[in-house]
Chain A
C-alpha cells in the first residue's frame, strides 16, 4: 500500500500538502506530529473516510476509490474515536458486527467461532453480555479492537487509540497493537500523540509538520534530538531505555 502526492484543502488552505509514503507490510507504523500537522487527515484519506482533493492511495495495485467498499472492508479496517452508539448493544453483538463484510447481518457457524476467538483474544469473556455504554473507557476500547480483529483484515488503521485512556490502559493498548503485528501478522498504522509510545512500540515513524512529511524512517532514524526539536519546536533529550530511544521534553 502506498500513498502518492495526496492533498487535502480546507477553504483553499492545504492541510495535507502533496504527501507521499509507503506503508511497510507486516510492521507497525506510527504517524506523529503536532496538532494540525495533518496526520489524522492523512489517516482519514487512506481509510476512505475523508475525500481527498488530489493524489493516489494505491492498495494492492488499485486506487482505494475504485475498490468495492464491501471488498475493501475485508482487507482494511479503521477505528476512529467517534464511536457514540445510541443503541443498546452488548459486547458480543458489537464484535459480531466485525463479520458484517463477510456475511451481512446473518452469522454463520464460522463467523461465530471467529467472534468468540476475538473476544477471547481481548480477554472480554466476562463482559460479553454487558452493554457497551455500561463499560469503562478502557474496556470499551478493547471491545472495539475485538471487533476489528473479528473483521480479520490485513491492514488495521487506528486513529489515536490511546486517547482518553489512563497510563495503564494506554500501555496495554500499545502492547495489544504490538501483538496484532507480531502474533497475528497484521500491518498496523496508528496516529499517536504520545511520541514515546510511538518510539517504544512501532517499527517505523512518520512525522508530520505543516501538512508535509517532516521525517520518515525507522524509530532510530526519526527519534533524534535535532529531528524532534525541529518538528515540535521544543527542547528534547533522547535517552536509551531497553534499546529504544525515548524522548524527554519539558
Chain B
C-alpha cells in the first residue's frame, strides 16, 4: 500500500472509531438521570451488558462475514447461507413445541443459550468440516448444502408452527427476532471465551487470508495448504456466527452490510484493516440502531427490522452497481 492510501485509510478508520464511541456513549447516557446516584447505577447495570453484547455481536458477525466472503471469493455472499439463522429458529420452535413455553429450556436464558450453541456447533462441525472433505473441498457444494439445509430447517419449523397452540406461538414469536434483552453477564463471558478460542486456534490461517484472496491456484503456487486452511476458516466462521446467533437471535444478515461497507470505504486487500472496519461498522449500526429503537420508537420495532430493510436495499444497490459478479 502506498503512503497516501495508507494515511487515507487511517483517517477513515479514526472517524469510524469516533462514531462507534459516540454511538456507545449515546446508548449508555441518553435519558439517564445523573442527579440520582441509585437510578444512574441501575441504568448502567441494565445497559452495560447490552452494550457488551452488541459489541461482541458486531465483532463476531463483522469478522466472520468478511472472512467468509474472502474464503468463498465472492463479496456479495451473506453468512445467512450457512443456515445458522434457520437452525436457531427451528431449535426454539421445537423447544416450545415439545417442552412448552413455560419449560426451563424456553425460560432460562443460560440453558437456552447452551442448547443453541451446542446444537449449532455440532451441526457446523458436521457440515463444514466433514462434508467439505467429502465433496473434495468444493466450497460451492458446501454452500449448496447450506442453502438446502436452510430450507429444510424452515420447512420443519413451519410445519411445527402450523400445529402449534396459538398462545404458545405468540410466546414463541417474540424470541425469534434478534434482540439484546435476554443477555446476562454469564452468556457474555462464555461467548468471549469461545470467540477468543476460535481466534487463537485459527491465528495462522487468519494470517494467510490476504494470499487466499488471490484464488486457489495462486495460493497453492505461493505455498499455502489451501484445502485445509479453507476448511478450518469455514468452521471458525460458522462457530462465530453460531455464537452471535445463540446470543441474540437471527442477525447474520447484518454481516453482508457491514463487510461490504468496510470494503467500500477502505479500498484495500489487507484483512486486518477490513475486519477492523467491518467490526466498527457493526458497532455503529447495532448500537446506533438500538438507540433509535429505544428512544425514538420506544421498543415498538426491533433493531433487526431496520437491519433487514436497510440491508435489503443495500444488497440491491450492490447487485445493480457491480459490473461483474
A215 part of interface (Cβ distance < 8 Å): no
- A93 to B273 CA separation, bound complex (whole angstroms): 15
CB pair A88–B268 under 8 Å, yes or no, is: yes
- A141 to B155 CA separation, bound complex (whole angstroms): 49
Contacts of B215 in A (CB 8 A): 82-85
Interface SS, B side: loop
Chain A: interface size category: 20 to 34
Q: Which of A71, A80, A104 has the most CB of B within 10 A?
A: A80
Interface positions of B from 262 to 321, Cβ below 8 Å from A = 263, 267-269
Minimum CB–CB distance for A145 against chain B, Å: 13
CB pair A47–B221 under 8 Å, yes or no, is: yes
Contact with B along A76-98 (1 / 0, CB 8 A): 01111011111111101100011
Number of interface residues of B (CB under 8 A): 26
- A86 to B324 CA separation, bound complex (whole angstroms): 10
Interface positions of A from 99 to 141, Cβ below 8 Å from B = 100-101, 104-105, 129, 131
User: Known contacts being A86-B73, A105-B210, is A80 close to B217, with CB within 8 Å?
Assistant: yes
Minimum CB–CB distance for A239 against chain B, Å: 37
CB pair B217–A100 under 8 Å, yes or no, is: no
Minimum CB–CB distance for A101 against chain B, Å: 5
- A129 to B268 CA separation, bound complex (whole angstroms): 12
User: Which of B2, B213, B220 has a CB less than 8 Å from the CB of A87?
Assistant: B213
CB pair B213–A85 under 8 Å, yes or no, is: yes
Contacts of A104 in B (CB 8 A): 207
CB pair B210–A88 under 8 Å, yes or no, is: no
Quick one: closest A residue to B74, CB to CB?
Answer: A86
CB pair B213–A86 under 8 Å, yes or no, is: yes
CB pair A101–B217 under 8 Å, yes or no, is: no
Q: List 5 A-B contacts (CB under 8 A).
A: A72-B223, A82-B215, A83-B215, A85-B214, A131-B267
With A88-B267, A90-B2, A97-B222 known, 19 other A-B pairs at CB within 8 A are A49-B217, A69-B220, A69-B224, A71-B223, A78-B217, A82-B215, A82-B216, A83-B218, A84-B215, A86-B69, A86-B74, A88-B269, A89-B269, A90-B1, A100-B211, A100-B222, A101-B222, A105-B211, A151-B221
